[in-house]
């Protein structure tokens, strides 16, 4: 059949198909890597298998059932009795934007804790949504005291206090308890928390700590593929959403609409967008794996992997970027690059020799650190030992001499 015949009588100019641009040829080829950077991490085999299951329609009852399983699994993950959990169709950045776009109205104050790139990005994002942004800054590698956070809330009485629990650019773990949530509630402030690099790797208690909104990512401690953002709202946050004076300045991430797809406010589901079907299969499986292991055991496994990593790094004479042990993030570890060592050359050697991904710094830590993730399926001794082998080889290749004082790192 000629191209002209394919027009079916439409008055359109047809032409010969150009083959100048070539489509991919043959089956896709993907190398095997051990992903020990800040994410994505190596996927759990069960999660990969779930993605290969047949597609369902995004409004089919069996798929709605899977969405309901995800909501319940997230309630366990976030440790909340709130019914307001879902997966945003998108990466952690989509979760970030959904939180700000839906909870911040133009002209409202937001305090953003900035001690790394993710606070910087939220400050930028909040400005784009016409918020009155107050940046509370800490030096990279440091966190905020609960006392200074409470004082800032009392002084400014913002609509939102935003914090990053696990700042992956600098490797810090921000404390969230000790009455911070109660102080926010007393000031009429919503407490919004980024847990992209921490959810599942360190303790988190949404209800106990009085957190109002949390977003995360699928590709880190949950060992899933990128493309879904676990999301939680408290009743206070939902009340703010429903009582907005203006529509959220986004259709794609308007939670009033997404909520009806997930059944937050009524049993019947409404179409908003086509859910990422195979990715939601993966996240249903990821949450099932979490439930089978149990959160206390999962948190303990990540801590043990972190400790094993630093035992080996300490023996090499390497030092943590984060000075205070209590502020160090278990899941994304930041390691000072010694003087005279080429950080990028070590990363390349790890990949070329061992097929192990180790990352350099990001934002304020660029050129200063390596970042090693011990997350999800990779938070186990075998994976940690492969990283240590890659470090030993890469450092020796550069003529690095272990300092005489090398030894135990305070954890």
| Per-residue pLDDT at 410 | 74
- Of all residues in the chain, the percent with pLDDT exceeding 70 is 99
Mean pLDDT on 38-64:
96
Q: Is the dihedral of CA 84, 86, 89, 92 positive or negative?
A: positive
Mean pLDDT on 281-286:
98
pLDDT tens-place string over residues 362-392: 999 999 999 999 999 999 999 999 999 999 9
pLDDT tens-place string over residues 163-184: 999 999 999 999 999 999 999 9
Q: Is the dihedral of CA 259, 265, 269, 270 positive or negative?
A: negative
Predicted TM-score of the model (pTM): 0.94
Residue 332 clears pLDDT 90, i.e. is over it? yes
> Which positions ≥6 away from 278 have C-beta within 8 Å?
50, 51, 53, 55
Strand-strand pairing, 34-35 and 356-357 = parallel
Mean pLDDT on 148-155:
98
Higher pLDDT, 60 or 7: 60
pLDDT tens-place string over residues 229-247: 999 999 999 999 999 999 9
| Per-residue pLDDT at 9 | 74
Give the number of residues written for the chain.
411
Mean pLDDT on 71-96:
98
3-state per-residue secondary structure call for the chain = CCCHHHHCCCCCCCCCCCCCCCCCCCCCCCCCCEECCCCCCCCCHHHHHHHCCCCCCCCCHHHHHHHHHHHHHHHHHHCCCCCCEEEEECCHHHHHHHHHHHHCCCCCEEEEEECCHHHHHHHHHHHHCCCEEEEEECCCCCCCCHHHHHHHHHHHCCCEEEEECEECCCCEECCCCCCHHHHHHHCCCEEEEECCCCECCECCCCCCCCCCEEECCCCCCCCCCCCEEEEEECHHHHHHHHCCCCCCCCCCCCHHHHHHHHCCCCCCCCCCCCCCHHHHHHHHHHHHHHHHHCHHHHHHHHHHHHHHHHHHHHHCCCCECCCCHHHECCCEEEEECCCCCCHHHHHHHHHHHHCEECEECCHHHCCCEEEEECCHHHCCHHHHHHHHHHHHHHHHHCCCCCCCCCCCCCC
Mean pLDDT on 76-100:
98
Mean pLDDT on 294-313:
98
Instruction: Report yes or no: 226 and 218 within 8 Å, Cβ to Cβ.
Output: yes
Instruction: Report yes or no: 182 and 191 within 8 Å, Cβ to Cβ.
Output: no
Residue 257 clears pLDDT 80, i.e. is over it? yes
Mean pLDDT on 176-203:
97
Crossing angle of helices 277-293 and 295-315, rounded to 10°: 90
Residue 157 clears pLDDT 80, i.e. is over it? yes
| Per-residue pLDDT at 131 | 98
Residue 406 clears pLDDT 70, i.e. is over it? no
């Amino acid at each position: 059949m000629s191209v002209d015949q394919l027009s079916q009588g439409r008055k359109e100019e047809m032409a010969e198909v150009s083959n100048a641009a070539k489509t991919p040829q043959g089956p896709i080829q993907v190398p095997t890597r051990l992903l020990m950077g800040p994410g994505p991490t190596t996927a759990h085999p069960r999660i990969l298998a779930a993605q290969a299951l047949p597609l369902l329609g995004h409004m089919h009852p069996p798929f709605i059932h899977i969405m309901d399983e995800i909501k319940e699994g997230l309630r366990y993950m976030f440790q909340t009795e709130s019914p307001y959990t879902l997966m945003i169709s998108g990466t952690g950045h989509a979760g970030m934007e959904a939180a700000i776009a839906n909870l911040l109205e133009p002209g409202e104050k937001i305090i953003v804790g900035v001690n790394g790139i993710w606070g910087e990005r939220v400050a930028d994002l909040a400005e784009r949504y016409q918020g009155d942004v107050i940046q509370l800054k800490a030096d990279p590698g440091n966190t905020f005291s609960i006392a200074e956070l409470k004082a800032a809330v009392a002084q400014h009485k913002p609509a939102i206090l935003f914090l990053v629990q696990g700042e992956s650019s600098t490797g810090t773990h921000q404390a969230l308890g000790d009455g911070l949530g109660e102080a926010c509630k007393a000031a009429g402030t919503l407490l919004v928390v980024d847990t992209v690099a921490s959810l599942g790797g360190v303790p988190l208690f949404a209800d106990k700590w009085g957190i109002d909104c949390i977003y995360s990512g699928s590709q880190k401690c949950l060992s899933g593929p990128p493309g879904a953002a676990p999301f939680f709202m408290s009743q206070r946050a939902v009340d703010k959403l429903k009582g907005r004076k203006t529509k959220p300045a986004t259709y794609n991430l308007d939670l009033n609409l997404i909520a009806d797809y997930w059944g937050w406010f009524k049993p019947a589901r409404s179409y908003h967008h086509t859910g990422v079907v195979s990715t939601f299969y993966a996240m249903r499986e990821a949450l099932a794996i979490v439930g089978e292991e149990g959160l206390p055991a999962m948190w303990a496994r990540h801590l043990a992997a972190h400790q094993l990593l630093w035992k080996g790094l300490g023996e090499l004479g390497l030092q943590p970027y984060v000075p205070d042990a209590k502020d160090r993030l278990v899941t994304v570890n930041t390691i000072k690059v010694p003087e005279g060592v080429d950080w990028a050359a070590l990363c390349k050697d790890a990949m070329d020799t061992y097929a192990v991904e180790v990352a350099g710094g990001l934002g304020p830590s660029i050129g200063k650190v390596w970042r090693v993730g011990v997350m999800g399926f990779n938070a186990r001794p075998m994976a940690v030992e492969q990283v240590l082998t890659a470090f030993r080889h890469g450092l020796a290749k550069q003529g690095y001499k272990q300092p005489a004082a090398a030894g135990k790192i305070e954890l």
